Structure formats: C-alpha cells, structure tokens
Structure 1
Amino acid sequence: MNIIARSRLTHSLALILALAGGWSVQIHAREVAPAAATAARQEAPRPWLYENSDVPIDPAWLFGELPNGLRYAIRRNTVPPGQVSIRLRIDAGSLMERPDEKGYAHFMEHLTFRGSKYVPDGESKRLWQRLGVTFGSDSNAQTTPTGTTYALDLPNASPAGLDESVKILAGMMTDPNIIPVAVDAERAVVLAEMREGTNVGTRVGDATRALFFAGQPLGSHAPIGTAETLNAATAATLKAFHDRWYRPANAVISVSGDIDPKAMEALIRKYFSGWKATGKTAPAADFGKPDADAPTSAVVVQPGLPTTVTVAWLRPWQPKADTIVYNQRKLADMVALQMINRRLEEAARRGTASFLQASVDVQDVSRSVNGTFLSITALGEDWEKALQDARAIIEDAKRALATTQEIDREFAEMETVLAIGVENQDTEPSARQASDLVSAVDIRETTVSPQAALDIYRSARAIMTPDYMLEATRRTFTGDATRAMLVMPKAQPNAEARLAAALETPVEAASDVRLSASTVTMDDLPKLPPAGKVVSDEQLGTSGIRQIAFANGVKLMLFANDAETGKVRVNVRFGHGMLDLSPRQVEPTWAANYVLAANGIGKLGQREMDDLTNGRRLGFDFGIDDDAFELGALTRPADYKDQLRLFATKLAFPGWAGEPVERAKAGLLAAYDVSSTSPNAVLGRDLVWLLRDKDMRFRTPDKAEISALTPDRFKAFWAPILASGPIEVQLFGDVKPEEAVAAVAETFGALPARKARPVDPANAGIRFPAHNDRPLVLTHDGDRDQAAAVIAWPTGAGLDDTREARQLDILAQIISDRLFEKLRAVDGAAYSPQATSDWPLGFGKGQGYLAVVSQLKPERIDYFYKLVDEIAADLASRPVSNDELQRTLAPMAQLLTRASTGNAFWMSLLEGGTQDPRTITAMQTMMRDTLQVTAEDLQTLAAKYLVAGKSYSVTVLPKGGE
C-alpha cells in the first residue's frame, strides 16, 4: 500500500524522480508472530509475491502462475459495481534499452495499443469505446524506466465483454502489429508527444538525472527516448526489442473487480497459456550503482524557474527481503524524516530561514539508487544562505536526540493515514488495488491488507526510541556519493564552484528550531453561541436527502448514507462567489487558496492549527464557484463534528496573520515566469480571461499586483466576504442523521444571522469576446517548434437549459474524437487535441463557450484551423453516424454510472440546491439530458453554435516567430 503522509518535493525533484520511474513510497508492512509465519510456510508454499517474506498474505487475492511463467493475482471487489480493472505489467522499461534503442519501450507501448492480432491497425480506440471504455482514462499505458504497464478498466464487464477484452490483451502482448506502416504512423505520434511534453521542467529533469545517476543507465535513458533513436527505429529493430522483453516470464497480470476470481483465472489460462517466448532470454539488465568519482555538482540556468537547490545522498539499490523487521525499520525511518520536515516547514513559515520551502525525502529510485533528497526553494537569489539554513536544521537533527513528544506527534500523524485506510477499505476502488499490486511487483516488494499495514506500523512504535531515531537520521544523510543541482533563472558568477564549496563546507547545527510539545485542543478554538434551532426539515423526494433550515438562515443539505463507509464529505458554500466580485478590477482572490487556511482561527496560528489537527482527518480546501465561495473537506465519522466546528469558527473568527500573505507572494513571484515558458503555460495563464472578454475576475495578476498586496489589504477584502451572505452546508456520508443535524446546529446553526450582501447587477453576467477574423497572437519563451491554437464559439449559461448544456458536452467529445483520429492517429501532428464545453450554471445571464485546443508545430497552425472548420461544418450539415454516437454515449454512460455510486458526484450536482430549486430539477434530469441525445440534436446544436462569424481564436507562437 502507499504511505501518503510524506514530505513535499520541489518541482525539480518531483520531476526528476517521476521521470526516473515514479517516486511514491511503497511500504508493505505487516505483522505476524514469527512462529506463526514459520508454521504457515511449513503448511503450504507461499504465493509468488510473498516468496522470501514473512509478512501475512492478503487472503483476498488469488495468486497463480502459468506453466509458461506468467504470474497473476485476482481479487473480487465491487467498488464500483460492475467494473473489472486489469493491469498487465511487462518488466521492460527504458533501463532495458540498448544505447541505440532509447525510447523503444515507450514506442512499443504505442504500437501495442495501435493494433494487434485481434485489432486492425488504428481501430483500438473505437473498439474499446464500443465496450464502454473511455480511451485515455479507462484504457491507457505507462512506461517507466523499469517497466510498462497496460491498464484497462472495464466499466460494465459482462462475461462476453470480459472474454473479448482478455483475448484482445493477449493478442496485444503476443502479436502486436509491428509493421512499417504502423511504425511510421506511430513514430509521428511519439515525436509529437515528445515535442508537447518538452518544457523547462523536463530540461531540468534531464540535467538532474544526468548528474545524480551519472554512469548508470538511469542517467541517460528517459522513457521518451531521443529524436535520433526514434527516427532510426524500424519494424525490425522494434520487433527485436519486443521479442527480447515481451515474454510470459516477464509478465504479471493483476485483476480486481466485480468478478468471480476463478472465472477470471480461467480466462487468463484460456488466452495466455499459449504465449511462448521468441528467441533467447535476455540477461537481467544491470542498472549499476552510484559512481563516487563522478562530478558532484552542476548548475542549470533556466529562465522562468525559481532558484532551487537539490542535494542527494546516494547509495546502491539492493533487493531486500520484504520482512516484518525490514518494514518496521523503514517506517521508523520515515517518522524520523518527518520530524525534520516539520522543523524545516516551521522555519519557512516563521521567515527565520532563507528558503521559501524545504523538505527531505528518501526514495528507492528505479531499482538504481536508494537516495536521500533535500529540496530547497530559495527566497530570492541567495541560494547559498538557503542551503546553509536547511543543512543547519538537518545538522541539529543529527546532533541531538528527539524528544518522545516529537516522536509521538509524527507517529500519530502517520498512524491516522493508515487507520483511515482500514476505515475506507470497503470503498477502495478496484483500479487502485490492481495498480498497487503491480507497483509492488515493480519495487520487488509485497502487498497486504490495510489492517495488516496498520498493525505492523503500530508494532514498530517500540523501536522508535530517541536513540534509534538519532541513528536513523545520521544513517539517512550518508551515502556512497553526494550530488547537488542548482537551478536558477539567470547566471551568477562562478556558481558551480560556489555550489561545490557550499556542499563541502561544514555547517553549525541550528538552534531553537525544535518544536515544543503541543497543548492545543479543540477547546482552544473561539467559543460559538448556543446551538441554533431548526425551523424546517424537508425530504427531497424519495432520495433520502434532507433540506434543513435553521433560525439564523443557514441551510443544511444532509444525505446520511453508507455508500462510502468511513467517509464524510463536507462542503460549505457562503456568499455569492464570482457574483460578489467586480469584472472591472483585480482583487486578491488569487491569494486566498494559499492564505485562508494558513492564517489561522482567532488567536491560533498555522502552527497551533497543525497541532490541533494532528492525528485527525481534518481538511481545508478553498474554492471560488460562480455563485458561492466554498470550504471543503473529506473527513470521517470520528472527526466530522470538529471539521464543522473548524469551518464555522473560521467564518466567525478568522485569523489574519501576515506571514502567510508574504509567503504566498514570495512563492507566486518566484514561479511567475513559468507562465511564459510554453504554449500550454501561456494558455493556462490567459485563455479563460480572454474567452471571458477580459473579465478581471478571471485574470492572472501581474507581478506588480502580487507585490502590492499587503496583509492589511488582504484582510480588508476578505473580512466582509467571510462575514456576510448566505450559508449552505452540504453533509454527505457515513453519519447518524440526528447527530449530524445537532452537530450543524451547534456550529453553523449557532452563528449570528449573516448580513445580506446584495449582488451588484454589473457582476451578474459574463461575456464572450467579439469575433476576430484573424487569431489573436500570444507568444511564449519556449522551444521554437512548439505552438498552440484555440478556436471557440459562444454558447450559453445558467440553469434554464441544462439539457442543452449537457448535450454540448457530447458534441465536444465527438469533436475531440474526430481531432484525435485526424491530428493524432492519421497525421501525427498533435498528441492531445481536445474540445471542451463550458456552460456556467451560476450566472443567470451570460455566455459560456465550446473551445477546441491543440498544441502543434507553428507550421501546422493553419491546417488546424482548416480542419476544425471542416469538422464544424460537417457536424452542422449532417447527423453523426449511429456508430460514432454510440461510441461516445457508451463510455459516457459508464462514467456517469460509476460516478453516481459516490457521494462526491451528488454533492457537485446539488451545490446551491437550498438556494435555487432549479438545481434540484437539473439533478433529476442529469442522466436523461446527457444520454438521450440524438444525432439530430447534435446537428441542431452544431448549426446553432458552431457559427464561423461568431468564433474567437488565439494562437500561441514562439517569441520572434510572429
């Protein structure tokens, strides 16, 4: 299972580790008595996943192995109902490639999906759609340095559909269409993917990987490959790579879903038993080990990125027996690391260090190194002081024992994560279970039940003594090789030599960085008035949803149900969102997501709030909707009452600490120039603002506006918003109804009646820009072969015609499919063209849009516009075929069916329902509006909206290429 309580990584380190093959920590910790484990081994052979391990076997899995060496694991899981998730992993990634084969593992992934024994060339997408599979999400694949995993989520796995799908997967593995015409066609797609994926981050990632893993294949083998090797690839060379690595002994199939495991086992045996390896078995790839004699430091000057330093202490990766003791020590090491991360974070918050952010992490990277990584984002350009400050905090951790209270605090935090896994195990989706198992195979470890993971973690507390934690900390910061990478937006004199010197220079241990024991409890929150009274309580039809009003005007939508055991979703909507903002001036809304959670409640600051919430499942998500501001959290039955209290006291007694404002400003300013470094970044910054006719509510602030924000200005803007306007509380999930009503009465129901905040009529509408005959040209600072094009048409807004809004989603999906077929599958001109529909429901008047967006080479821009015009004209002139319509509706129906089994789906549909009854009506017609669309409906919509004389277009070109 994944341990998700981990330190945060800077962008550069996250990127390098992700490119190196995924950096999520897999901890497979289980506890059984040694004698019992020995007896179990004597009674029966342990399944293949658990060989050389004494962890308890997860009995939910059926393990097996075919005579040809293919291994499989299958379990029954009905979340979501009817779905079967299949993961087929081949132990062949970029590290298995020869120098002239760079990118072949990923190229093979593309070819395998393109066509195979039972799939004509280019028909794969259509075939899966007819089975209700959404291409790209339900059917996909990923190539990493150590493997290639094919993922298939069958949303409605009928016996016939499952039989057909397993047969197709077998044909993909044994006999893909590796023929010249397919290779040439897919080569263009892979090169388009490389072009669109290349950016400042990948360039830094390549440089960091080359430094950290110098002398190892990982240092020079990114999964995407190189243009040289991809252009040189032929059907013969790719076939040779396939024969060498696509062998049953290198394959693992993991299946979780709504199926009898024995029936699934029979299908695997039926279609995969005949798979026979071709040619000689390749020797195991040598991934090498860290080279102590390689250069220790490097500098990358990359305009647009903030100044960052990443230090790595590298050790050889060694296969380890996945034993109980091994996992106990690994978990204890993680707790030791988290103590350091908390100290680093506190120093950044207080502003006592010269870094904006710093964290440490330990990772096994692509079976190549075991490394400790220190990531630092400097405040300004003084990276030397930032490095010194972070190292000083680490030096203090290496010098003196931690207190028992510190250990207990971090132990409780991680224990909560694992306990939540136990509470939510009945709602763990099949896709995650199937993926977790092949991830365990990838790192050569095991997988167990959530309860077993929690048990072994709790048993590890005994070894987490101050002495052990000190030894673990010292061990963590040693290695066979030490490396440091400095990334800066502009050159500095002698930077590399200074970096090497800074790495070698001893630092004094920091003082006064250790955190005192916490004494903060919920009783320290500001007191609320007595509980409010319920004045109405109504059932929403026969759905089980209740609408409850309190005397102070607060309205509650309560849906108590056990669809997601152990989960409670809380969403608080207050005020009027975008309707409370002026379209003519920039307001500090951009800072709210970073600041409102961090500036505390009453006299309690962020540090006290951390202590208050430690060991609890309490959250603070903030968002701005069209017609409301929102506070959201996913909590649990034991914590939801306190979650409600946190949100209520936040509105009634907000804290206004200044440090979070200054930190948010520093972070946004440091990363601001990234928004100019690629076509996608430019569109992310400007497109919605342009398509909203330069409405200032949708504009990204410039550097001057960010710099000008002060804590007083932030408070002056947000204080009246937090204090006024209507409140709607949505509470969905595993709660007892009357207890939930009482909990809301004691929190939101107890608030004083809110002041009315009328909406300015000038704020009530949104506009689409006037038609332009020639595209507006924007520029980016990235590669000269990167460009992007957008064309959009105005549609509608509001709740009065949600049927049309939902049918426009279907029209957009059909346009996306046609673009995929032409731009990607046939021409290879683009990797991920797409069309989207935006019909804002919160604006009573205004215009949404249907937009088509694609990255391309600059010379293909005109072709893009011509193609989109042809698609639009064709859709308006004649109905789509029944096959095309059903290939769109079948996956959509399955997506909606799956989503409707969870509370998040219904919460999103019912947002604002206590204020506007039309929301309830729109919810009731959701399925019908979406799925009962006809080809004639779509033709009518295309003729109505895809009008050439109303479109607005934007082109993003490399600077100097206008």
Structure 2
Amino acid sequence: MIRLTPLLALPILFLFLAPLTATPYSATADSLRLIDTLPMDSSVLQGELPNGFIYYIRHNEEPKDRVVMYLATKVGSVLETDDELGLAHFLEHMQFNGTENFPKNELVDYLQRAGVRFGSDLNAYTSFDETVYQLPIPSDDPELLKSGLQVMRDWAQGALLDGEEIDKERGVVLNELLGGRGAQQRMRDQYLPMILNNSRYAQRLPIGTRKIIEGFEHETLRDFYRKWYRPNLQALIIVGDIDVAAMEQRVKALFTDLENPTIAPERTEYSIPLTGRNQFMVVTDAEMPQTVVQVIVKHPEAAVKTVADYRLQLVKSLFNQMAGARFAELIRQSDPPFIQGGGSIGGFMRGLDAFTMYYAAKPGEIQRGFEAVVTEFERIKRYGFTATELGRAKDNFLTSVESAYAERDKRKSESYVATYLNHFLEGESALSNEDRYRLGKSLIGTITLDDVNALAGQYYTDENRDILILAPDKDRDTLPGEETVNGWLAAVKAADIAPYDDNVQEMPLLDNPPTPGTVAERRERAELDVVELTLSNGVRVILKPTDFKNDEIRMTAFSPGGTSLYGDTDFLSAAYAASVVGGSGLGPYDATQLTKHLSGKKVSVQPYIGEQTEGFNATSGKKDLHTAFELIYAYFTVPRLDLEVFEGYMQRIKASLANRLDDPNAVFSDTINAVLYNNNIRRASMTVEEVDLIDPQRAYEIYQERFADASDFTVTIVGSFTEDELMPLVLQYLGGLPANGRKEEARDLGIYPPAKGLERTVYRGKEQKSSVRLYYFGDYDYSETENMQLDALESILDIKLIERLREAESGVYGVSANASYAKYPRYRYSFGIAYGTSPDKVAPLMASVLDEINKIKQRGPEQVDIEKFVSEQKRQLEVQLRENGFWLGHLSGAYQRHEDPAYILTYVDELNKVTVESVKEVANKYLVEDRLFRFVLMPEGE
C-alpha cells in the first residue's frame, strides 16, 4: 500500500493541524519552564539492542486479549536510485510472499486461520521516508503470540525474495499503479516538481514507474533489501494486553542477531529546500470535475522538543480552530463565494511547515472565491481574532483535553502505536496521558490573543509562496495567469476590510421545559444488561449502561416511515429535509449562533430522514447530557428553516455537480443505477437541474410531519450512565415529546433490479484501466441462520478471489465480495464482486471469478476456508462486544427488524452450523447465473 501526505494524496490540501489533546510535563504546574525538554512517556519500555534495533513495549488492555505489533523501517522511496524506482514499495509487497518461517503465501494463510484479516488487520504501507508493517493479533494464545513476533522478525530481515514470486508480484503492483492513475495523478505529475521545489521527493513517488516494475532484475531488489533492511534503521512497537518484561526478553532473543551490512550506505536525510521564490502553475485535465485553488506558503519546520514548542503547537491549534469557524460561517451565506474553502497552519513535508489557503471554486467564479479566502485571512492579519472567539476555542480545547484524560484507561492500543511510531520516525514527542493533560491544562491559560494573532503575520507572508490552480480542461482559456492572480492579491491587500463582528447571543434553547412523562412499562433483559421502557407517550427507550468508556453516551432513534411515504414529486424535498433543517439552527439560534452556544460542550445531535425511517443520532459526555436531551427535544418541537442557509447550500450542491460527469467513475456509477433501477429518481444521482426540485418550504413541512408524533419512536441509549442518572432526563425530554398515537409503516416502493441479469459496458476515461462490477439480486429467505451462511459465502469467496485473481494470476491489486440482505420492506439480497484491472484482462479474470463461484456451487468451499471465517467472526466479536458503537447498532437494528437482540449471545455457537454443505447450498440458491448482472468500465477507444 502507498501512503502519501495529505498534500500529495488529494487535489485539495487539507493541512489542518490535528486538535492537540493536551499532553504534559510530569512536574507540577508551578514548576513548568518553557525551556524544559518534553518528557518521554514513562509507561512505555523503550530500549535499543547492540545492533541499533530499537523497541517500544507497552501494556494496554484496550482491547482486552489483543496486541498490536508494528515494524517500522526508515526506508522509503526517497532512498531509491534511478534504477530502483518503486522497489521500496515492491519490497513491502514481497514480505507477504515468502519469509524464512512462512514460505510463499503461508503467512497470510496462517494468520487468516487465527482470525486476522488480510488487508484490514494484516497490512503495510510505504511512503517517501519509511515502510511500516502492522499486525494486530490475539494475545491470549501463547503460540499465536510467539508466531506473531516471529513474523515481525522475518519482516525485519527474513524475506526470501524468490524469483518466481517476484515475477508474479509485478502484475499486482502494476495494477496498483494502474488503479491510482486518473486526473489527480496526471495533474500531480505536473505540479509536484513545483510544490516540492524540484527536490528529490518530486522524483520519488513510492509507486515507482512501469518501466522499472516490469523490468528490474531480481538481484536488484535483493540488493536493495540487503542495503536498507538493517537493524540500525528499524524499530519494533508492541502495545497490548501482554507481559512487558516477558515480551522484552523475547524481543532480545529474536532480534539481537539481526546484522547490519559490513559496508552500509549512509541513510541520507533528504529535505525540501526553501528557495525564497514565489511560484505559480495552472494544471488542467479533462476528467477534473472542479476548479481548486491552493496557496501554499512554506516555512522551516517548527520542531516540538520543548515545553515552549508544545505551547506554540497549541497556539497554532487555536488559530486553525478559529479560522475554521470563520469559514464555516462564510459558507452559510445565501450566496457563498465558493463550494468549500479555508486555510490553516500545519505540517507540509520533511523539514517544512506551511500556511495553506484553499478553495473549490463555483463555476465561473474563480476570482470571487480567491478574493473571499484571501480577504478573510487579510482580516485576521490586520485585526486578529476577538477575545470571545479565543474564549470559545479554549473551551473546546479544554473539553477535548479533559475528555481524553477521562478515557486514558480506555485508550486503544493503536493510538499509542501511532505516538511511538512518530517518535521513532519523526522525532516527535511521546508524552504520557498524565503529562499531556497537565501540560495542556497549564499552558492553555497562558496563551493570549496577541500570541494567536501574531501567527498570521509570521506565516502569511509573501515569500516561498506557491499558487496552484487545478481545473477542467474545458475552462483552460478562462483561467487567470500569474500576473492576474498577483493583481487580485494586491487589490485585496489594498482594500478597506472591516473587522470581524463576533455577534454572540445567549438565551435559553427552550422557552419552557417540557412536562415530564411517566413509565408505562418496564422490562429487564438481564442476559443483555438491557432495560426496555415504554413511556406514557408511547416512546420506547432501550437502555444499556456499559463501562466500555468512562465518558461516552451514544444514542440513536428510529420511527417507521421515512421518504417512502412521499411521492416522487416530493422525494428530493423529503430526502434533503433533515439536512436543510439541521443546517438552519435550532429554536432561537441560527446555525452560527448555535455553534457558538455549544462551544466547550461534548455533544452532538443530528436528525435524519432515510427511505424507511426517520430519527436522530446523538453523542454526549456525562456533564453535557442535559444539553443533549434539550437538543433532541428542540429538533422535535422548535426546528428552524433558514432560507439564506438553504439557498447557499443549494448553490454549493449545483456547483459541485456542474462537471460531475467528466469523472468516468461517476458515469459508470450512474449507468449501473440507471440499468438496475430504470432511472428511478430515488436511486439516481441528482443532476444540477433536479436541485431546483428541492422546495425549502415543502422540506420544512415534511420534516415537521416526520417529527410531529414521537409515539412510534424507539430510542436506544448505550454508554457510561446508570439508569438512575438518566431517568429524569428520559422522562422529561423523551417522555415530554408530542404524541398522537400515530401508527405508520414504511411503504414498499417496488424499486428492484430486473429479475433477469444482463451486461453493460461503459466506455469512459483516458487511462488504460478497467473496473468490473458483478451483481446478483433476488428474493431472500431471511433468517439469522441464512444470514450467517451468506456472510460465510462472502468471506470465503473473498479469500478465493484474492488467491486466484491476485496471487495466482497477478491480475488485480484488490478484489472484494460483498453480501447484503434486507428484511424490510421485502426479503431481498444482493451479492456483489468488484475489482479493477487492465482492459486486456477483463474477460479472462471474469471467467476466473465465475469459475471460483462454480467451484463452490459444485463442490462447496474448502474446510480450511470455513475455519478462517469462523475464526475471524469469533475474534471480531470478542472486540465488538466491548464497544458502545457495536451495541448501539445491534440493539437498534434488532428492534427495527422486530428481532430478539439476544441472538448475539448464541452467535458463536451458531457458527458451528456453517459447513461445506451449507455454504454450497446457499451459493447455489443465490448465485444463480440467470440473475447475474455484469458491468464493465473500459477506457475510451477500446
């Protein structure tokens, strides 16, 4: 897998600095000194072997009985010679194709038997400067734990690099390269040298080149491996439910004998030089659907080594948060100046930071968008932010710090791995939970408005500035040149710009609190630790208190009906009703004022209207539960319609759709939906013309209708609460909801694919690549047992298709099978297979797919593949049963389908019902040739 920085992975540069969840210094707050070096997390055992190999080992019990192992090697594409382009990434692939203790594909096979999924659990990535391998495995099996560590040892210096396996893998890597080709990559090839200042990085994209991938000698790859995979460039990170001391002894025993080459090339640290020049470039492509403008001002990287450095990071985080709020307000205008836009201060690439402004322009409005973005940052540079803006940003920061600290004993192992990985690769600080909390709490109060406002002048400068315009080919003649854009900049800087007015209102969300209801019926489900309540107004409430998190309460609600109750004329108004109302504010607050009102609160409530149901999703911390319930009640009783926000929203949708069909994948998707659903408006992508069918008043009316009667709502609440704590809020805000005893059911709209399969080929796209989608549809014998059998078929076919199409035939990079089934409005199933390949391999690979399906239909699956499915399901469930999100979805889904949620308690036992014959039977039942739909996207001119 290739990993690029956000800068290089997307045409829009999202360089927002991640919110810094306070971390700090282990002394008391009074003893903090800005010159002090940030301390290392003392909870991690860090060591170095005589050969230079570094290790980090930490005990952590979230999730229980699991351990995460990462092997990081400071070897990436930047080290490649001209004859080795792409070999760092190719080598990453080869680590899964044979090591000393796991020849050929035995590694993947062995781990799949243990319940480890290839691609999602077992994975790796290669970037410019590093290659990283990951392996999350169960830690309650001593033999598996031992083998997992052996895998890491083999990856460090035990790859076989067999010539036959190398040649087979060429096709896989070429298909990965092919899959990444398109408008973004073609444009990136042109602008990368500019934004990377013609440094070595500009010529070392990790994927490499077709010429090298196809033609390198086996020994060239082996030589690269011998040169760079050496212990003094490697680190092992192990975090999980383990005995740290025992693990350290195993690491020493296994990794001490790793050898550095006798003559080792120096590991040069490359950088991107600052030239002092300003640069400008316009890049267009026929398949680029939008015009995107980026202004990048590069600066030397501000390393975070001391308390003062950390404080500066907090200042930047506050700056970015406040700038983001300004742009969120801009976008809510009735005539917004762009589709989206913003800017921030953050990391760029090795050795550099950057201040970045960006926007996606509305068609024909590139100048307007540019002036709007630059004007806002000029306003910030001239006048700074206001004290009230800073106060809200600090409140939000403190909430995040306190929330992270409250969950410190529930923190997932993966997040610790990321911290130690960055410590090894980037030299970033690795602070303990306690230090992070104390330092954040201590420093945030010392940050002044002058500190934050000074950043604009420091980072928004006129040196080392790149301006990049990415646009559709058809707009090339109307795009501005460098002189024109510089003129726009000069005009904004000379303009009279008014200071920002931070209009803040404070008033009760509700004029009067609702009258509480009562409990009409209460039932305990002790086996599930669940309480089922029926309130006096008919609202059903499902409560499951948990200890999975210390400060997380999650809620979801549904009521039958949704958009299915409205005709096609009203469909789009109904489909967008919740978005229109949700973006308009609530009660006395417009959207901007509501955001300000909720500053510093850990709470979110979002209403929705789907095809079959309407309801809401909400999250909250304990101290903000009252606010969460107020918001829920308000969305039922005092929703708003802001016509200005609606008009701006529709304009942005229209602008984003204007060139959508220039994207081959969009045309392909539209064709599939048109064929399967006969161009039904409820299954088709919206067009620019159809946007005008959304009537704001009708949308508002539909929203009110859907939420006028709560008597048929079921609300599920899972998380860190007790029934006694929650009941006063439940009775007042859910029991007080309006109810008329309405009984509704969603309508069966009869929108289903044809009974008989067919074939369609779409010819779009400039790149010599193809996409294939195969589908089976039909009526279904819905039951828990049948669902499990279809899930097993999906998993098994996934395994077989990877083995055949990727490993045996080298025809794809990835392939996936996907099964889905529905109980309402009708028992139906779908089974899909998707992959990308080269045009010349479409027919033979499709034949291989159908051959694998027929093998299962004729002989059934191999027993070993059933065992892999069962093991994976068991291991996944062990983790899921300790997650609030899983229980929320499971309980709500079961009640929505009128099923007993207790079936999850016997799920593992039911897995024993999956047999060779049962999977064979379900394959013959549903993968019926007559129901097969074949869709292929081919390049133009084929």
TM over 0.5: yes
Q: Which of the residues 238, 241, 249 maps onto 1:266?
A: 249
Alignment correspondent of 1:317: 301
Q: Which residue of 2 aligns with 1:894?
A: 875
Q: Which amino acid aligns with 1:824?
A: R
User: What TM-score does the superposition give when structure 1 sets the normalisation length?
Assistant: 0.91
Structure 1 residue 651: deviation in Å? 1.9
Superposition map of 1:271-286 within 5 A:
271-278=254-261, 279-286=263-270
Taking the TM superposition and a 5 Å limit, the aligned residue runs for 1:276-675 are: 276-278=259-261, 279-293=263-277, 295-317=279-301, 320=303, 322-351=305-334, 354-478=337-461, 480-489=463-472, 490-493=475-478, 495-497=480-482, 498-503=484-489, 506-508=492-494, 511-512=497-498, 514-516=500-502, 518-520=504-506, 523-577=508-562, 579-580=564-565, 586-588=571-573, 590-592=575-577, 594-621=579-606, 623=608, 627-672=612-657
| 1:748, distance to aligned residue in structure 2 (A) | 1.7
Alignment of 1:703 onto 2:685: no
Aligned to 1:860: 841
> C-alpha offsets along residues 714-739 of structure 1, whole Å, 9 cap, x if unaligned?
22433322324621111101012122
Do 1:189 and 1:831's aligned partners in 2 also have CA atoms closer than 8 Å? yes
User: What's 2:762 paired with?
Assistant: 778
For the residues of structure 2 that align with 1:348 and 1:510, how far apart are their CA atoms? 22
Measure, in 2, the Cα distance between the counterparts of 1:204 and 1:742.
58
Return the letter of the residue paired with 1:305: P
Residue 241 (structure 1) shift? 2.1
Distance 2:566 2:857 in 1: 37
Instruction: Specify whether residues 284 and 429 from structure 1 end up closer, same or farther in structure 2 by C-alpha distance, changes over 3 A only.
Output: same
Partner letter of residue 354 of structure 1?
P
Matched residue, 1:107: 90
Would the alpha carbon gap of residues 25 and 537 (structure 1) be closer, same or farther in structure 2, given more than 3 Å must change? closer
Residues in 2 aligned to 1:202 and 1:404: alpha-carbon distance in whole angstroms: 43
Q: Tell me which amino acid in the other structure corresponds to 1:410.
A: A
User: Structure 2: how far apart are the matches of 1:289 and 1:53?
Assistant: 30
Unaligned stretches of 5+ residues in structure 2: none
Cα distance, 1:626–1:391 mapped onto 2, change above 3 Å: closer
| DSSP 3-state at the match of 1:314 | strand
- RMSD across aligned C-alpha pairs, in angstroms? 3.0
Say which of 5, 9, 15 aligns to 2:10: 15
Q: State the partner residue of 1:719.
A: 704
Task: Kindly state the Cα deviation for residue 938 of structure 1 after the two structures are TM-superposed.
Answer: 0.2
CA apart distance, 1:341 = 2.5
Q: 1:917, CA displacement in angstroms?
A: 3.9
SS for the counterpart of 2:357 is strand
* Partner of residue 886 from structure 2, selected from 905, 911, 922: 905
State the alpha-carbon separation in 2 of the partners of residues 895 and 846 from structure 1.
27
Task: With the length of structure 2 as denominator, give the TM-score of the two structures.
Answer: 0.93
SS class of match (1:698)? coil
Q: In 2, are the aligned partners of 1:402 and 1:470 still within 8 Å (CA)?
A: yes
Distance change (3 Å), C-alpha of 1:17 and 1:692 = closer
Structure 1 equivalent of residue 122 of structure 2: 139
Contact 1:89 1:149 in 2 (8 A): yes
2:59–2:240 Cα contact (<8 Å) kept: yes
Question: Quick one: which of 818, 822, 835 aligns to 1:840?
Answer: 822
C-alpha separation between the residues in 2 aligned to 1:350 and 1:38?
A: 45
- Asked whether the 8 Å contact 1:424–1:564 carries over to 2, the reply is yes
SS of residue matched to 2:799: helix
* 1:148–1:582 distance in 2 versus 1, CA, 3 Å: farther
Helix, strand or coil at the partner of 2:691:
helix
CA contact (8 A) 2:25 2:32 kept: no
Alpha-carbon distance change, 493 to 753 in structure 1, aligned in 2, over 3 angstroms: closer
Residue number in structure 1 paired with 2:939: 958
- 1:35 deviation in Å? 11
Q: Distance in 2 between matches of 1:27 and 1:586?
A: 43
Residue aligning to 2:25: 31
* Partner secondary structure for residue 446 of structure 1: coil
Q: Find the partner of 1:871 among 843, 852, 874.
A: 852
Give the aligned partner of residue 745 of structure 1: 731
Question: How many Å separate the matches in 2 of 1:796 and 1:18?
Answer: 45
1:6 is matched with which residue?
Answer: none
Deviation at 1:116, TM superposition (A): 1.4
- CA shift in 2, pair 1:903/1:408, >3 Å: same
Does the CA-based 8 Å contact 2:556-2:717 persist in structure 1?
A: yes
Maintained 8 Å contact 1:343/1:514: no
Structure 2 residue matching 1:154: 3-state secondary structure: strand
Deviation per residue, 1:436-478 (Å, 9 max, x gap): 3203333321112334223222322344222222222211213
Distance 1:27 1:443 in 2: 19
Match of 1:758 among 733, 741, 744: 744
1:304/1:840 Cα in 2 relative to 1: closer, same or farther (>3 Å)? farther
Offset, 1:513: 5.7
Structure 1 alignment gaps of length 5 or more: 1-9, 40-51
Counterpart contact for 1:304–1:673, Cα < 8 Å: no
Cα gap change, 1:513/1:898 in structure 2, threshold over 3 Å: closer, same or farther? Answer: farther
- Give 3-state SS (helix, strand or coil) of 2:95's partner: helix
Residue 87 of structure 1 contacts residue 254 of structure 1 at CA under 8 Å; is this kept in 2?
A: yes
The counterpart of 1:819, out of the listed 801, 808, 811, is 801
- Counterpart in 1 of 2:783? 801
Contact 2:21 2:401 in 1 (8 A): no
Alpha carbons 1:74, 1:254 under 8 Å: kept: yes
| Range with bigger deviation, 351-360 or 256-265 | 351-360
Change (3 A) 1:11 1:74: closer
Identity, % of aligned positions? 21
TM-aligned CA distance change 1:589 to 1:691, over 3 Å: farther
Contact 1:310 1:376 in 2 (8 A): yes
Cα distance in 2 between the residues matched to 1:137 and 1:201: 25
Deviations 1:35-94 (A, max 9, x none): 99999xxxxxxxxxxxx9722332221111111111111111111111100111111122
Structure 1 stretch displaced more, 355-364 or 299-308: 299-308
The count of residues paired between Structure 1 and Structure 2 equals 933
Maintained 8 Å contact 2:748/2:825: no
What is the aligned partner in structure 2 of residue 42 from structure 1?
none
* Paired residue secondary structure (1:514): coil
Change (3 A) 1:865 1:13: closer
CA distance in 2, matches of 1:714, 1:12: 38
Q: Which residue of 1 aligns with 2:926?
A: 945
SS at match of 1:418: helix
> In the TM superposition, what is the alpha-carbon distance from 1:547 to its structure 2 partner?
0.6
**In structure 1, how many angstroms separate the alpha carbons of the residues matched to 2:718 and 2:22?**
32
**Contact 1:16–1:206 (8 Å) recurs in 2:** no
Contact persistence 1:776–1:954 (CA under 8 A): yes
Match of 2:211 in 1: 228
Closer, same or farther in 2 for the Cα pair 1:664/1:144, shift >3 Å?
Answer: farther
